[in-house]
Structure formats: C-alpha cells, structure tokens
Structure 1
Amino acid sequence: MNFHTFEELQNTRESCRVYSDAPVSRELLTHLADVARLSPSACNSQPWHFLIVDEPEAKKRLTECLEDGGLNGCPWGNRVPAFFIICEEKAKLQPGVAEHYGSQHFAQMDIGMAAMSLCCEAASLGLGTCMICTMNQERLHSAFHIPSDTTARLIITVGYPANPGAPRRKQRKELSSIVSYNSWDSDR
C-alpha cells in the first residue's frame, strides 16, 4: 500500500485487533524498530528499548501479563503475530535540562513519538497495529527479565489485518473546538 501524503496515512491508519495467520518476518520487525529509533527525543536522549516478542511461548507469557492490567486485558492477544514492548530507559539529558526538569521529564513523550513512528511505518507497509497501555509491570518485568531501572510504557501489536479494506470513519473532535490562536480564550 502506498500513501501519497502523510495526511492520507493518518486518515486511513487505525487500530487493528483482528490479524491474519501470516507471520511478520523478523527483518520487517527489525525495520520497524529501525524507523522508530529515528524519532526525535529531548536532547537526543533516545530513552527507549524495543523488546520484540514473536515466539509462541513468549507471546503467551506476554498476554498473561496483560490480563491484570485492566480493561479486560487483551483477549485477542493469542492471535497477534508479534508485539513490541517499548521500555523507558534512564534518559541522558543535557545537564542544565536534567537539573531543571529531571532526567525523565520528556521520556514518555519521546516514547510516544517513537511509537507513532512505528505505527505509521507499519501502516505504510500494509501492517496493522494497536497500542496497549494496560499491563502488570511486575509480571512483565519478571517474564521478560526487564531491568528494575527500566519501565515498560507501551505495548504495540503488529500483524497483517485479517480483513483489510476500507477504514472505519474516524470520529474526531471538530478542529474549531481544539485550536486557538494566541490565547486559549480567543474565538475558536
């Protein structure tokens, strides 16, 4: 699938929860991580680690970590070809910035940008993704040997959609209700 503009990609990309049985190659998964790592980050701190889960036993362990995270876990997780666990590592900011804001002040925003880069690249290649933020940290750390000074912030499912086709109509707030110029209380 080729997208002529970023806007077109944004208009058609959507969360996918039903995947085909087709595996996603490690080469492609590595490519997605490579694109995500090129994302901007505060002071070029790159506070992320991408843990890719694609083996059946590891995927089973991961879905068990989601069950206690709330929102009914991820009941469709056993049909996901691959997962990315995006972890937040200690950021190395410029000294003045770190002293003023703390080393992790920007890390979650940085991880969000990397995650969106990954999802957009996946969509441009015909892959579906879904971001999951509900997880049991203790179980996840234990199951995947994640260091204690690192936090799993986001899990992204990746695979080929089972039913590719026309995307659902997006339901978004009206632009006029979320944009102001020069002052919050300006005429919107």
Structure 2
Amino acid sequence: MNFLDIVKLRQSVRSYAEYPVEHEKIEKCLEAARFAPSADNSQPWKFIVVDDDELRNKVAKETFNSIVPFNRFTLTAPVLIVVVTEKENFVTKFAGAIKKTQFNLVGLGIAVEHFCLQAVEEKLGTCILGWFNKKGVKKALNIPKNEDVDVVIALGYPKTETIREKKRKKIEDIRAYNKYF
C-alpha cells in the first residue's frame, strides 16, 4: 500500500469489533506519532493508552452526556488514547505570541494524524475526538492540572471493512499556483 492509499483509507470509525488490540500494533502507532515534527522539536505530547476495561469505561463516559450524546460509541472501542498536550516551551510560546499561533497544537495535530495513519497500516480504525469533558478525563487518569488534554482517539478493529465515500472539494477548488485564487 502506498502513502496516498493509506490517506484515502483513513476514516472515522465509530463501530468496533469486540476483540482487543495487540500492544505491538499500538506501539507502532505510537512510534509513528513519536516521529512527528514539532516547532522547536518540542514534541509537546504524551499518549496515555487506556485499555483496562473499568478505566476505559470511565474515560468513555466523559466523552458524551445527555445533551451531546454522539460519542457513545466510545463505550465499544477496545482502546482509548488520551493525548496530553504539554505546555509550550519558551521558544514556541514566544513565537506563537508573535504569530498568533499555538504551535504546540499544530504539532499535536500532526502527531495524532501520524498515529491514525499508522493505525490504517495496522488494519485498525480510529476516531479523533475533540468533544469531551476535559476535567473528567483528567480526573479519571490523574493528569496534573498544569497539563491539558485536547484529543482522545478511539482505537480498535473496525466492525466492518466498508470504506465510506469521501466527500471532498475538487483539487481545483483548493489549489492555486503562484497566486491566490
């Protein structure tokens, strides 16, 4: 499989088979994330693998509520990856203030996508979650107050191998050479 094939196969998976994910496959995904670039090589991320059933259910329950119920599928994901965002170092904080960019979040996004693309290679499905109760997740995992959690990744074997049709803009609508559209 070439890289573009992997990119095209990646999709948000919300229905998982009931069997566990091998730690070797999780480690490969983490290794891919570890090699993601980041501003000032700050590597502002930590990944907490939550595969203990009781703890996973506790974290999963922090991803939805009665008002926003759409993440209930996390209860069926065999693994949740909680991505901790470290505070910016001096260089990235200073540069970010000037450029009005949170460079730690840019790097985090790249690392998360590296993780998810490697998951495709491992025949695993993922769903990147940005909607969850941060305080509840931090409490469940004893994450220090000075650290932040911006992403949770649901991980497991997809219940179905169906690849949904992607609705994307045409290349002509997103690309221009040497001038703005």
Q: TM-score, normalised by structure 1?
A: 0.87
Q: Distance in 2 between matches of 1:64 and 1:101?
A: 34
Against the structure 1 CA distance between its residues 88 and 119, is the aligned structure 2 distance closer, same or farther, given a 3 Å change threshold? Answer: same
Structure 2 letter corresponding to 1:51: I
Contact residue 43 and residue 93 of structure 1 kept, 8 A: no
Against the structure 1 CA distance between its residues 140 and 70, is the aligned structure 2 distance closer, same or farther, given a 3 Å change threshold? Answer: farther
Q: Distance in 1 between matches of 2:78 and 2:84?
A: 20
Q: Distance in 2 between matches of 1:35 and 1:156?
A: 15
Aligned length: 179
Contact residue 125 and residue 158 of structure 2 kept, 8 A: yes
Q: Residue 168 of structure 2 aligns with which residue?
A: 172
Match of residue 94, structure 2, among 55, 80, 99: 99
Residues 1:75 and 2:72 are matched in the alignment: yes
Alignment gaps of 5+ in structure 1: none
Q: Distance in 2 between matches of 1:156 and 1:119?
A: 9
Structure 2 letter corresponding to 1:87: V
Contact residue 83 and residue 156 of structure 1 kept, 8 A: yes
Q: Residue 155 of structure 1 aligns with which residue?
A: 152
For residues 6-25 of structure 1, the aligned pairs below 5 Å read 6-25=3-22
For residues 1-188 of structure 1, the aligned pairs below 5 Å read 3=1, 5-68=2-65, 71-92=68-89, 94=91, 98-102=93-97, 105-165=102-162, 167-184=163-180, 186=181
Contact residue 85 and residue 155 of structure 1 kept, 8 A: yes
SS of the equivalent of 2:64 reads helix
Contact residue 85 and residue 154 of structure 1 kept, 8 A: yes
Q: Distance in 2 between matches of 1:35 and 1:112?
A: 13
Structure 1 letter corresponding to 2:94: E
SS of the equivalent of 1:16 reads coil
Q: Distance in 1 between matches of 2:148 and 2:64?
A: 18
Structure 1 letter corresponding to 2:178: N
Against the structure 1 CA distance between its residues 69 and 140, is the aligned structure 2 distance closer, same or farther, given a 3 Å change threshold? Answer: farther
Structure 2 letter corresponding to 1:99: F
SS of the equivalent of 1:76 reads helix
| Residue 28 of structure 1, CA deviation | 2.1
Partner deviation per Cα, 1:31-87 (whole Å, 9 max, x = no partner)? 211221110000100000101110111111111211249642421122101011111
Alignment gaps of 5+ in structure 2: none
Partner deviation per Cα, 1:1-30 (whole Å, 9 max, x = no partner)? xx1x11111122211111111100223222
Share of identical aligned residues, percent? 27
Contact residue 21 and residue 81 of structure 1 kept, 8 A: yes
Against the structure 1 CA distance between its residues 149 and 11, is the aligned structure 2 distance closer, same or farther, given a 3 Å change threshold? Answer: same
Give the superposed CA RMSD. 2.0
